[in-house]
Structure 1
Amino acid sequence: MTQKKYTIQNTPFVVPTTDGKVIKEHFGLATDGNSQISIAHMKAPAGWSEPFQTPEFDEYTFIISGKKQFIIENETIILEAGQSIKIKKNTRVQYSNPFTEVCEYIAICTPAFSINLAKRDH
């Protein structure tokens, strides 16, 4: 019997949160143990924000709908639907949605996201 050369993800890992953000990891450490890459479908509610962090992974974000604010080092950037960004590892960044509608996006991290590698400020 030959092994399948693909994996369809129908049951992503839903990351527990306390801030209203919905995180569904399709591939990565929590889902399939992959430490090289993580791919997650996110929904950040209006008014959401998280602490500054200096992650030890590159993070790519593609905005599906709504808007998302990034404070990268000391520069504020706002992305809208259809735009994407790559933020290099060891860059201080804060993610937020100070707007009035939900922001839906895809986040890809290399190596895979882990809370230890995120290096969030306390």
Structure 2
Amino acid sequence: MKKYSIQKSPFIVPTTDGKLIEEHFGLASIPSELSIAHMIAPPHWSEPFQTPKFDEYTYIIKGRKQFIIDGETIILKVGESIKIDKGTRIQYSNPFEEECEYISICQPAFSIEKVNREE
């Protein structure tokens, strides 16, 4: 039995907001206790506020990404990263003119039931 898993065909998460989500490991792809996804957020993209039940790590590859965390606005750029603790109220967006490419790691693995998005 192999002691490794190679992901050659990540699961493309269907979206309606123009964001590309390629899950390499997680509940929708190769089952794992954490999820790893490659994402591209188009210009002027945003999500509603949410209070996830997972820790999320984000690493910016290209562009910039805005986070509103408990009322504080933070903008990350290329080469920067952040860890956001589970139970933190947050809003993610790309209010800029260029797309934002990044890697997201969630632990435990991302599931829509754990996001707790506000209406």
One-letter amino acid of the counterpart of residue 43, structure 1: I
- Matches of residues 83-102 of structure 1 in structure 2 within 5 Å? 83-102=80-99
Cα distance in 2 for partners of 1:66, 1:6 equals 32
The equivalent of 1:19 in structure 2 is 17
Structure 2: unaligned runs, 5 residues or longer = none
> Contact 2:13 / 2:20 at 8 angstroms: preserved in 1?
yes
Cα distance in 1 for partners of 2:8, 2:101 equals 19
> Contact 2:61 / 2:103 at 8 angstroms: preserved in 1?
yes
Pairing 1:51–2:79 present: no
The equivalent of 1:72 in structure 2 is 69
Q: Cα deviation per residue 1:5-30 (whole Å; 9 max; x = unaligned)?
A: 21110100000000000000000000
Shift of 1:33: 2.6
TM-score by structure 2 length? 0.98
Percent identical pairs in the alignment equals 68
Moved over 2 A (4+): none
Structure 1: unaligned runs, 5 residues or longer = none
The equivalent of 1:29 in structure 2 is 27
Cα distance in 1 for partners of 2:79, 2:3 equals 30
Please say which structure displays the higher CA radius of gyration.
1
- Aligned partner of residue 28 in structure 2, secondary structure: helix
Shift of 1:4: 1.6
- Aligned partner of residue 75 in structure 2, secondary structure: strand
Cα distance in 2 for partners of 1:113, 1:67 equals 22
Bigger share in helix: 1
